[in-house]
Chains A and B, each alone.
Chain A
Amino acid sequence: MTALLDMNRLLDELEAGLREIMAARGVESPALIGIRTGGVWLADVMRKRLGLEEPYGELDISFYRDDFSRIGLNPKVMPSSLPFSTEDRDIILIDDVIMSGRTIRAAMNEIFDYGRPASIILATLVDLGARELPIQPDVTGKVLTLESHQRVKLRGPEPLHIELQETGQ
């Protein structure tokens, strides 16, 4: 399993995929936004790899989650910080793992509250399937199928690595 999740290779895939789609869409100076926490680490890496000068944005989607009416407010919420206007910008939205798609739904709603972007490209390091909403990443480092007792988590920021957790069921 560890060999399958060679971090450099995943990052290479992500970078190559992003370059390809940016070229295809004619996106030259995208604004990078990472979803806390893992997505922010990845945004940092991709910013350097893509040679972007503008600082990246950090999104905390706690105020936009759809499970507030079930579990209440996330007590560890931190301020979002977008050091640019999203109005008319081409956005690259990055997260570590996509599963149900609910986090991305929340993140897109939040981004629109900062202004109407020209476009959004979604990049995720790992795609675990099990989607509950019609949301698909444009770029993925790796598609994985996990057993029901397995979880993955991105650890970082230094060194960045993926941890496979067995929940012991």
Chain B
Amino acid sequence: MTVEQAPNRSLQLTADGQLRHFLTLDGLDRALLTDILDTADSFIEVGERSIKKVPLLRGRTVVNLFFESSTRTRSTFELAAKRLSADVLNLDINTSATSKGESLSDTLLNLEAMASDMFVVRHSQSGAPHFIAESVTPGVAIINAGDGRHAHPTQAMLDMLTIRQHKGGFEGLKVAVVGDVLHSRVARSQIRALNELGAAEVRVIAPGTLLPRDVESLGCSVEYDMQKGMKDLDVVIMLRLQEERMEGALLPSEREFYRLYGLNQEKLALAHPECIVMHPGPINRGVEIESAVADGPQSVILDQVTNGIAIRMAVMSMAMGGQVAERNQKQAGRAQA
């Protein structure tokens, strides 16, 4: 299995470098990633007000298109859109049009005809959001909410926001991503973001059977022994064991995996004393992580959820802003011609 190819950079950005789709972190430079984090900081403040809403996307329609089930990601996207004052439509595609034989393209064109401004897309096929942005509905802002094993860029960015909050920045940080890297779209986006933002070292810690073959090419070192890998860590990011995606015998047993790669207090004690513990959820307690650690003082897992709303508000408003700015420039150009 190889690391999957990224879509081209220009698809996501307007001519003057503003975001207009958010499909992958590939091709987005440190300045833009930092803009996203800074904008999200402002939205965190909005989330602390008595009225947690701003009028930015008032009158716009956001469609949550989830071809794969999700609770946390979908609900935080929904809340993010509502806090931006958008109208939100949630479509669980598994149970609607496609079961009547309608093709993906037809479903999307119908939604576009309903004057939708943004699609938030989760799909089991890598590259599906990219395909939609490029070929199906280019005038609709597309936000990738997780595609196959390729990318989950909003999750990675909310993780970056959480790290920056707790560590002040990325300079000199040693970060490990632990567990099922093979099936994880989050891991790819995280490693990319950490490298672009200037972390000192990114390690993956996993058994060989749960690593993609050319994992180092993502920009990380590999450690098979978790006891060694935990040394000096500032941040440890646990991944969920995605057993529903596993084909064949990649693991001897859950218990064996937990013994070798589960995060417990003894292993955490090997890291830097102020090491923070992260997990994208949903947590398999006693499979990847011990409850005492997940609920312990070094855990920032619930901060990640709060930050997820702010990051999604930032990305949605920036992409929508890029779309409208571009549309206006085109209209102005046409008026002059």
A residues sitting closer than 8 Å to B (CB atoms) are 60, 62-64, 68-73, 75-81, 109, 113-115
Q: Which residue of B lies closest to A112 (CB)?
A: B51
Query: Can you list 30 residue pairs at the A/B interface with Cβ under 8 Å?
Result: A60-B42, A63-B42, A63-B46, A63-B54, A63-B55, A63-B56, A68-B324, A72-B18, A72-B321, A72-B324, A72-B325, A73-B39, A73-B56, A73-B317, A73-B318, A75-B35, A77-B39, A78-B38, A78-B42, A79-B41, A79-B45, A80-B45, A81-B45, A113-B49, A113-B50, A113-B54, A114-B49, A114-B50, A114-B51, A115-B50
Give the complex CA separation of A114 and B321 in angstroms: 25
The answer on a CB contact under 8 Å between A73 and B321 is yes
Across-interface contacts of B321 in A (CB, < 8 A): 68, 71-73
Q: Which residue of A lies closest to B14 (CB)?
A: A72
The answer on a CB contact under 8 Å between A64 and B55 is yes
Q: Which residue of B lies closest to A73 (CB)?
A: B321
Give the number of residue pairs across the A-B interface with Cβ within 8 Å. 61
Across-interface contacts of B38 in A (CB, < 8 A): 76-78
Report the interface size class on chain B: 20 to 34
Q: Which residue of B lies closest to A109 (CB)?
A: B55
Across-interface contacts of B322 in A (CB, < 8 A): 72
Say yes or no: is B328 at the interface (Cβ < 8 Å to chain A). Answer: yes
CB distance from B188 to the nearest CB of A (A): 26
Q: Which residue of A lies closest to B50 (CB)?
A: A115
Across-interface contacts of B44 in A (CB, < 8 A): 79
Q: Which of A60, A63, A113 contacts B51 (CB 8 A)?
A: A113
B residues sitting closer than 8 Å to A (CB atoms) are 18, 35, 38-39, 41-42, 44-46, 49-51, 53-56, 317-318, 320-322, 324-325, 328
Known contacts A71-B325, A73-B318, A73-B321; A80/B51 CB under 8 A: no
Q: Which residue of B lies closest to A71 (CB)?
A: B325
The answer on a CB contact under 8 Å between B56 and A79 is no
Q: Which residue of B lies closest to A87 (CB)?
A: B50
Across-interface contacts of A113 in B (CB, < 8 A): 49-51, 53-54
The answer on a CB contact under 8 Å between A79 and B42 is yes
Across-interface contacts of B53 in A (CB, < 8 A): 113
Q: Which residue of A lies closest to B59 (CB)?
A: A69
| Given A62-B42, A70-B324: 11 more A-B contacts, CB < 8 Å | A63-B42, A71-B325, A72-B320, A73-B39, A75-B39, A76-B38, A78-B42, A79-B42, A113-B50, A113-B53, A114-B49
The answer on a CB contact under 8 Å between A70 and B325 is yes
